[in-house]
Every structure is written in C-alpha cells, then in structure tokens.
Copies of this chain bind each other. A is one copy, B any other.
Amino acid sequence: MQTLSQFQDLFYKYLAENQFDYSPKELYEPVRYIMNLGGKRMRPLLALMAHAVFDDDIEKSMPAAFAVEVFHNFTLVHDDIMDVAPLRRGKPTIHEHFSQNHAILCGDVMMIYAYHYLNQTADKSLVGELFTLFNKTAIEVCEGQQNDMNFETRDNVSIEEYLKMIEYKTAVLLGCALQMGARVGGGSKEDARHLYEFGRNVGLAFQMQDDLLDTYGDPEKFGKKVGGDIVQNKKTYLVLRAMQSDDEKSKKELKDWLKIVTVTPTAEEEKIEKVREIFDRLEVKAAAEELKNSYQKTAFEHLAAVDAPEERKAVLRATAESLLVREV
C-alpha cells in the first residue's frame, strides 16, 4: 500500500524544483514566500492519490496537482487582502510583509501560473477537459468568496445559501483536484466523478467540523482561539440552525448577543459562554454533528463506488479519515 509520506515526498520534490526563481524579484519573491509557507498540501496530495487509484505513474498528475496548489495559494493571498488578515499560518500575510500592490500582482501571476502548470499535462487529449473543470471550479471559488463577504452584512442568510457558499469556497476545489488526478491516471469519467463527489463531501464535512471545533473544540488541540466565530458574530451553521428554531425567546437572546461587540477578554468569555448555552438549549451541536456525519457517509459511499481494488483506495480513505476524525 502507498503511504501518505510517499506522496508528500513527491510533492515536495516537485515544489523544490519549481521555485518561481524568475525576475523581477519584486514579483516572484512574494510567490516563493506564500508557496513555501507550509500547510497540509491536501489538494495536490489528493490529486496524486486519485491518480494512484488507477495507475502507478503518478508523476503524470504532478502538473495538475501543482496547478491546484498554486491556485489555492493565490486565493489565500487575495482573500487575506480582502479580509484584512494580518497573519497566515502564523506568519505575516503578503500585503503585510511586502505591500498590498505586491499581494495583488503576485496573486494575479500565480493564477496564470496555475493555468501554465495545468497546460503542462502530458496527455494533450485531456487538456481541454481539465481546463473546463478547472475553470468551472475556479469561478465557483470566486463566487463563494463573494457570497462569504456578502453574508457578513446580510441578516437573512438561509442554511441552503450557507452550505452553497462553503461548498463553492472550499469543497469544490478538493473535488476538482481528485477528478483531475483520476482522469490523468486513466480513470473513467464515472469513477472520476465519484472521486469528485468524495472530495466535495469530505470538504463539506471538514467545514462542518471546523464550525464545531471553533465553538466546542479543546483549546489545547484547536489551532485557533476557541469561540472566535462567536466573538466575530460569524454566521456559521450553528447560528443559522439556531435561527430556525421555534423557541422565539432563545432566538431573540441569540440575536441580541450577536449584535454585541466585546472589547475585553472577560466580556468575550461571557459572550462565548452565553451563546454556547443557547446553542445547547436549541440542540444545534447535535444537528451540526449529524450533518457532518451525513456528508462523511456520502463521501465514503462515493469512494466505495469507484471501480478499483480496495487497497488502491486505502490511502485516500485513511487521509480523509484523519481529516475528519477530530472529536468535538
């Protein structure tokens, strides 16, 4: 059986060989900075693993896998400008470390390089199909980001809209990476589609888990500050689900809390505690867990439906399980 670390080794070797060592340095230094900032590299690894379900020559999928990673990092650079985020992976964001103009232009050139790498795929008969999928996905990612920004100032976001937003903003790119790897690896369109749905549902389950961990996670294990979503009045699934309740009194209470901007740590703690109490009363935690489990179940059904020996799918299964295992 292939192991995660074999795929990681291949990816990091390719990354080391593709370091954007071009001029002008003012354009490419920020590109190298973000590309080497770390992260789990989940998207390219999933592409390579999807290839490996069907074929051993996984380096053939490396250009497409790398394209997805470059594209993902471009979205981080521009999203960080739009969100006025000071830090990314514990380091200053590009607009902070360099300048906003550097961040805009470095993101632009990265998006072009994503297409450049995708176009390096050796099997030219596949390039049109890969571009079509990649374009569709990239457009959805932009639409998801726009909706995420829209929701900040909207009071009437439905659960359906929220789920569509997280699907577009994060889940479809996982699906796209898997589908591309599957097709380059020689998988049928049907199997590639099952892997797309596997990735999309893993992404949705992961996002549900993230919403849950942000409110209920173990502060020792959760990377970010627990309760951050509540403090920032974010319209997470938990909030939107609570707003669907018949308990008007609790809903009113929640609405009032979500208008409050806390300025002291004590006030923050009180707000987090009170909102959690309302969530408990309205049983939204269980509802979110149920939804997460449902996405997860659908994901693994699609993986099971892929017409390939179980041992060739084992590393994908193990990787998804490790992503989704975190107990809340």
Contacts and interface: CB of A to CB of B under 8 A. Distances in A.
B112 A27 contact: no
Interface string A285-297: 0000000000000
Chain A binding surface SS class: helix
Nearest to A125: B124
B26 A109 contact: no
Copies of this protein chain in the complex: 2
B101 A115 contact: no
A149 interface: yes
**Interface size grouping (class) on chain A:** 35 or more
Given A127-B128, A127-B131, 10 more contacts: A81-B101, A82-B104, A104-B104, A105-B149, A107-B108, A115-B115, A115-B131, A115-B135, A119-B132, A124-B128
Closest 3 CB pairs of A and B: A27-B146, A109-B142, A116-B135
24 contacts: A22-B143, A24-B147, A26-B146, A26-B149, A27-B142, A27-B146, A81-B104, A82-B101, A82-B104, A82-B105, A101-B149, A104-B104, A105-B149, A108-B108, A109-B142, A111-B112, A112-B139, A112-B142, A113-B139, A119-B131, A119-B132, A127-B128, A127-B131, A131-B131
